[in-house]
Amino acid sequence: MARKEAATCRVQVYLTDSRVVAGLNREARSSRLALSQAAGRAIARGLQKSPQADPEDRLLQLERSLRDHMRSTARDMQIVQELLIEVARAFFLRLPDAVVDQDPTVQAAVDRRIERLLDATAARIVAGRTERPAGVPPEDRTFGAAN
């Protein structure tokens, strides 16, 4: 049986949109095709009922959504961090609840403890583990057993 040759025709197209030209060039490079073959594939995809998405467009969309997610996550983490600091400040000031808590020295000690807590947390995050890093002593207790 003789094999049928695919009919070819020559079409000349003038493109004025630089984004279309850039997209065709990207597709030709990524598929390692001649520009005319990449244009033919793009036209064929456009004529299909459910065209496949351009991989560059999907990647760009993914990058945009990731950037939006990172922005919203950074905002949320800033809110959580500020709330956590306020909770820690209230916690350290209230245990034990005494008149001495209004002392500037005690308040400075509380601020120092918060800074150490933040430093230790940052060190654990950077180290990628949950236990205390070497060289960070456990925090001193401000209250002891009742007599």
- Residue 61: inside a domain, yes or no? no
How far, in Å, CA of 99 to CA of 97, rounded?
A: 7
Q: Report the pLDDT value the prediction gives residue 72, as an integer from 0 to 100.
A: 92
Q: How confident is the model at residue 67 (pLDDT cuts 50, 70, 90)?
A: very high
- Nearest alpha-carbon partner for 101 in 137, 140, 143: 143
Number of domains in the chain: 2
Task: Give me the chain's average pLDDT, please.
Answer: 79
Q: The pTM is what?
A: 0.33
- Mean pLDDT confidence for 89-113: 81
Cβ neighbors of 54 (< 8 A, separation 6 or more) are 23, 27
In a domain, 147, yes or no: no
Is residue 5 included in any domain, yes or no?
Answer: no
**Residue 23 belongs to domain spanning:** 18-52
Indicate if the pLDDT at residue 130 is higher than 90: no
Which single residue is written with the structure tokens 């999907």?
A: 58
The 10 Å CB-count burial string (b at 16+, else e) for 71-83 is eeeeeeeeeeeee
Q: What is the mean pLDDT of residues 53-58?
A: 67
